[in-house]
Amino acid sequence: MSILEGLPTVCMGMLSTHGGSSIAALSLGAALRQEGLAVRYLHCDPLGARPEDTRVLSPERALRAAHSLDVDAAFTSPLEVCEQLLRLHDTAPFGLLHLHNLQVFGLPAYFLRRLRGVPYVVTFHGSDVLNDALLGARPEVTREVLRDASAVTCVSRYLAEALTDRLPELPAPDVVHNFLRPELRRPLGPPLGSDAGMLDRFLHVSSLRPVKRPELLLASFARLHAHRPHATLRLVTTHRGAVRAGELLDSHPLRDAVTVLVGEDDVEVLAREYQQATALVLTSRFESFGLVMLEALAHGLPVVAPAVGGIPEVLGADWPLLVRGDTADPDAYAERMAQVADGAARPLLRARAEEVLARFDGSRQVADYVRVYARALSAGSA
């Protein structure tokens, strides 16, 4: 008998349809649908995508609060969502709510469980645990919402340990890693590290929020450029990230060597950039997982990244291009970038990339989530 047999409709609750946590939620939903499970999407962004069976709520203040990290508003404005969520369940019932954003959906999920008996699962993706302004605010509300959840998961062991350190009185969360989304799973470009890519063309994909340390990225590129004057840098980011990039590059001496593209969620843009680059470069202060690393590896692109957060967990602690020790040293990143461009680590990288991708192909992760759902439903009916 299939492990999916008997599972009800699962509703994925997320802030929008862009950004790492939402992309992970959409990928999970698509994979579950392929296995025959009924999945509904629920988000709060009127401009966001609307995959099949999507409902868009209208907590405008909550959406603004989440983007601005206005913690008081982010924790109280979900009350505006409660009536909408209850009405949605009454008109189109679902059996399990899977939250991918605690600030906006935590309280509505809590009330839905209390008033309609719908169990909920909370998945932490990163900033909601690692940002003091989020998880550290209104701790009693946070604890109660998590205590009432039927299951709590984190996308890396690193993140699970951080959550346990912050809330040791709660049960230890499950670890279910992210996985490569299907539409970026099949490489169309050259083998990893080949000469078919663009020479000395380096790529960075992120929102360019401060935690991504874009200033460090530019400083590292400047060190490399001093020795490889033909090197270029491509930044694929969000609309907000493009504004930040413009501010950083406005008077930067290498602004003509840097190209900014809006397309962090555009599969075609990402696939093209992955295929044509020399390496993906991350300079983050921390990463809970680093999903873009899997996307890059799937397209034959080496990854230069700091040994922080969940990055060693994904790539392996002995990944040849990790920056260890002082992860804020621009010379260290420039050295790894030059190492890739010279082709020195090519054979080892190819074999290691295949190992990484095999661990995060989605089959294990989807099965893990199905087991979490089954346990959550069993606990909810007890």
Identify the three-state secondary structure at position 195.
coil
For residue 267, what pLDDT is reported? Answer: 87
Convert the pLDDT of each residue in 30-67 to its tens digit.
999 988 899 999 988 777 788 888 888 775 655 555 55
Task: Output the pLDDT for position 190.
Answer: 53
DSSP element (H, E) containing 122: strand 120-124
What are the helix (H) ranges across 77-156?
79-91, 102-116, 127-130, 132-135, 139-148
Q: What is the Cα 29 distance to its own chain's centre?
A: 15
pLDDT, one tens digit per residue, over 245-297 is: 999 999 999 999 999 999 877 889 999 999 999 999 999 998 999 999 999 99
| Nearest partner of 33 among 1, 3, 4, judged by Cα | 4
Q: Which domains does the chain have, with CATH numbers?
A: 10-179+362-381 (3.40.50.2000), 183-359 (3.40.50.2000)
E strand or H helix that includes residue 162: helix 157-166
Distances (CA, A) of 321 to 40, 282, 307, 317: 40, 11, 9, 10
CA dihedral 313, 316, 321, 327 (to 10 degrees): 30
The whole-number mean pLDDT for each consecutive block of 10 residues of the chain, a chain of 382 residues, reads 69 85 91 92 82 79 51 55 87 94 86 95 86 70 91 96 92 95 63 57 95 97 97 94 96 96 88 94 94 93 96 96 97 96 80 92 94 88 55
CB within 8 Å of 360: residues ≥ 6 apart:
177, 178, 179, 180, 294, 314
C-alpha dihedral (277, 356, 370, 2), degrees to nearest 10: 110
Q: Would you give the distance in Å from CA 105 to the centre of its chain?
A: 18
Taken as a whole, the chain contains a residue count of 382
Residue whose structure tokens are 């008081």: 72
| SS3 state at 280 | strand
Helix (H) or strand (E) holding 153: strand 151-154
Q: For position 71, what pLDDT does the model report?
A: 47
d(CA 97, CA 92): 13
pTM over 0.75? The answer is yes
Q: Which of 75, 61, 72 is nearest to 105 (CA)?
A: 75
